[in-house]
Amino acid sequence: MSIYLDHAATTPLRREVLDAMLPFLTETFGNPSSAHAYGRAARAALDDAHERVAARLGAEAREIVFTSGGTEANNLALKGAAWAGKARGHRIVTSAVEHHAVGHTLRYLEKFGFEIVELPVDRYGRVDPDELEAALSDRTILVSIMLANNEVGTIQPIGPIAERVRARKGILLHVDAVQAAPWIDLDVRDLEADFVSIAAHKFEGPKGVGVLYMRHGTHILAQQHGGSQERHRRAGTENLAGAIGLATAYELNGVERPEAVARIRTARERLAEAVLAVDGTELTGHPFDRLPGLLSIIAQDTDGNAVAVALDLEGIAASVGSACATGSTEVSHVLSAMGYPEDEARGSLRLSLGRTTSDEDIDVAVEVVPRVLASLRRGSAAVARDPFGQGDGGRHSTTSVPA
């Protein structure tokens, strides 16, 4: 038995996507910058990929920049806009729950004199648009707020946020939509954003390729220099097969999204009911305005890493939060920002479903996950009562997860 409940970290590559990519890894292998027939064929395919992604985002093909993934897309938007706008101002406004690809990039910019204003969030992980508005000043050049959180699934009120940003002329808005893209129908005209980041591997596309939507007329300083690829915004020979894979996966995702969202939301609620029936468990993130495939909880008196390991031994893949922070000894910055003390935050667990999650997978998960959580909580309680194992005549006791 092997059940994958970590789709928020990455998703399996769809067979249809691989089939679409293979010709561009074999016979149509040309460099899109070459003038001969091989290059022209590659260029035509790359231009078509720009068109296809743009059509899904409600954008123009010239507004699509292919990158090496969501992290590079975020870096290009933030660094590119910051350096291009520094003559006008130095303030950048963001939230306390952004992905590290945003948060760490802004910490880097801080070293060069940029002022980073990190907005607090409520217990659900949401930004207050009024607090954001109050943080804007004449020296503000950029606002970066994610659409949906990668750890707890909370969806931010981007509409009201964009409205407030748009009311202040000259401030750019970046939306990290990497986690949201598989589940939310993105239209850049509705988002009213200047930059939007997505990554293929979150919706069954290949790893190593992403997109930065950049509103036409928006000025940035390129962060990667060399050739004139991607309209001088991102130098380097394009990952043609990756671009084809992203475009194909995003099209398939868009067609199937309504049915997938309804089915997966129902499956998540079924799993949530079973998991939250365990004493000492609590849902994290917004109860309603959240991604349909993401269930995040805290289990008191447990360690999330120990729970994840125990589930792995039972054949269920889960995580404690962002895959980019796995192995860190620090608690989640997202949960800390939401007001959870360190001892509670250490009991976090993220179960994330995807299109390939079956009803049979959930049948198993609703039995195994609560059992593992309850067992580990009982074990923690026993250790708390008898920390030195004296209750068995001096022998140190151990607690194992029942088979």
Q: Return the active site residues.
A: 324
Between CA 169 and CA 354 the distance in angstroms is 40
Q: Residue 34: how many CA atoms within 13 Å on its side-chain side?
A: 12
Q: H or E element: which one contains 39?
A: helix 37-57
238 touches 66 (CB < 8 A): yes
Closest CA to 107 of 125, 128, 92: 92
Q: Which residues contact 303 (CB under 8 A, 6 or more apart)?
A: 346, 347
- Give the max Cα distance, the chain: 82
∠ CA 124-162-213 to the nearest 5 degrees?
100
Task: Kindly state the DSSP code that residue 360 receives in the 8-state scheme.
Answer: H
- In three-state secondary structure terms, 74 is helix
Integer CA distances (angstroms), 111 to 104, 105, 118, 137, 382, in order: 11, 10, 15, 21, 48
Q: What are phi and psi of 229, to 5 degrees?
A: -60, 155
- DSSP reduced 3-state for 255: helix
Q: Cα 381 from chain centroid? A: 34
DSSP letter for 212, please: E
Contacts of 281 (CB under 8 A, 6+ apart): 275, 297, 298, 299, 300, 373
* Short-list 320, 311, 308, 310, CA closest to 349: 320
What's the sign of the alpha-carbon dihedral 234, 238, 242, 246?
A: positive
Structural contact between residues 230 and 62, judged by C-beta atoms closer than 8 angstroms: no
Q: How far apart are CA 209 and CA 236, in angstroms?
A: 13
